Amino acid sequence: MGVDARTRLGLPPGVQPPFEVFVNGVLQTEGVDFTRIGSNLEFPRTFAWQRKLAFWRWALLFIGVWSSYRHHDTIDLVYMTNGQRLVADLKPAGAPRA
């Protein structure tokens, strides 16, 4: 039996279509890359969320003792409200915030 790998993200309050969704800078298509369910977006895959660097890890990176690259996905929502174009960084509940 396979694990259902889905991610559901809540839209900011008051956001109504039309809007654009970008994953890692690539425009996504509703119905193909994600589904809108009420005030949520559901993606048929999981995403990698990077935590903030601990002080010791940041210090080792800074002095060049250690290097590291961790995969980190970004999901951006571009929408209009009151005539202004806004961008929101979407993350699921419990994901680390930058």
pTM of the model: 0.73
Q: What confidence tens digit (pLDDT) does each residue in 54-87 have?
A: 665 656 666 766 555 556 788 999 999 999 999 9
Q: Mention every residue, 6+ apart, whose C-beta is less than 8 A from residue 47.
A: 7, 23, 73, 75
Reported in sequence order, the residue ranges of the chain that DSSP labels E, i.e. its strands, are 7-10, 19-23, 26-28, 35-37, 40-43, 75-81, 84-89
pLDDT digits (tens, 9 = 90+) for 3-56: 668 899 999 998 999 999 999 999 999 999 999 999 999 999 988 766 565 665
Q: Where are the domains of the chain?
A: 7-89
